[in-house]
Amino acid sequence: MQFSMLKLLLLVAVIALSLATFGVWGIAITIFLVVQAVWIRRAADRVALVAVWGLAFVIGSCVIHGHRELAWLSHCRNNLKAIGLALHNYHQQYGQFPPQHVADAEGRPMHSWRVLILPYLGEPKASNVYSQYRFDEPWNGPNNRKLAIEAVENFRCWTTNAAEPDAPLTTHYVAVTGPGTAWPGPTGSRVEDISDGCNNTVLLVEIAASDIHWMEPRDVTLEEALSGHNGKCAVPSSHHYMERTYFFFATYPLKGNVLTADGSCHCLEDQPSRNDLTALLSIDGGESINHDGVFGWHRATSRLDTIRCMSFALYLVFLLLLVL
């Protein structure tokens, strides 16, 4: 390659496009490709070099992002399924699901259902916390609050956790409480009480931006859930289903996970209709539910990032002109 004013202009254009396409990593990528091209004499081989690396990047980008999203999704869903299994193991031993909270003699909530299922999670840390937990003091008493950090990972979604570094002890899995729900309050419900069918009744919902400590005997009320907003968080909601930008695409699933009483984990639209949400949260309302219209994330929409695609295409074209 001979130096000329045209080459200099092409180099400036390539650097600018590399920054627009890849960010600061674009400089390193460009240096790597140009150095490779310098050692290749045939023009056809230089074209092949740029084409192969460009194709490899497109394929690799799609594969990496796809696997990352799947890993995030699987972790949070598996977390919720493990909690569902613990709830059913508790039900098998006591003949009912745990109460939403354990109250003191004056009726004030002292302990959460999340604490009650710790021995059933099958996690050594959770069992260890339960063995040291004191039920004769509140959840935030001097002994119990020392245990908070040990088992919190069981009640936090990894993706949402990464997005909320300032709230390390809050829970992302909460019950929806109130009359007619699976969580009426200080008494636990039974599978036999769920006349709507366990597959049609939601036990837990996942929420983002939660301000509920995982030990705290507080969840989301039915009124809060039906209003579509609980403080800062919609019901249900999650960071891994929020708007996500990939290299060439931006996706808008806007969904959140829910656990039904049969132990299944589903993805629910972030803003289901009030009627659908009421039907899913009630245990004996007799409502009919259109599963295809409520469950599933297959309706997620994607938008092509045209600016990124154009800058990437122009980058490859100008890079070819530079190395020829």
**pLDDT band with cut points at 50, 70 and 90 for residue 235:** confident
Cis peptide before 119 (omega within 30 of 0): no
Mean pLDDT value across residues 280-287: 83
Tell me, what's the pLDDT at 1?
A: 47
Select the highest-mean-pLDDT range: 185-194, 227-236, 274-283.
185-194
Task: Provide the 10 A C-beta neighbour count for residue 56.
Answer: 10
> Which of 174, 227, 179, 166 lies closest to 202 in space, CA to CA?
174
Residue 269 has pLDDT above 70, yes or no: no
* DSSP states of 252-282: E--EEEEEETTS-EEEEESS--HHHHHHHH-
- Among 280, 172, 292, which residue's Cα sits nearest to residue 226? 280
Predicted confidence band of residue 218 (pLDDT cuts 50, 70, 90): very high
What percent of the chain lies above the pLDDT cut of 90?
28
Burial 192-208 (b: 16+ CB within 10 A, else e): ebbebebebbbbbbbbb
Q: What is the mean pLDDT of the chain?
A: 81
Give residue-wise pLDDT tens across range 72-95.
Answer: 667 788 889 999 999 999 999 999
pLDDT value at 283 more than 80: yes
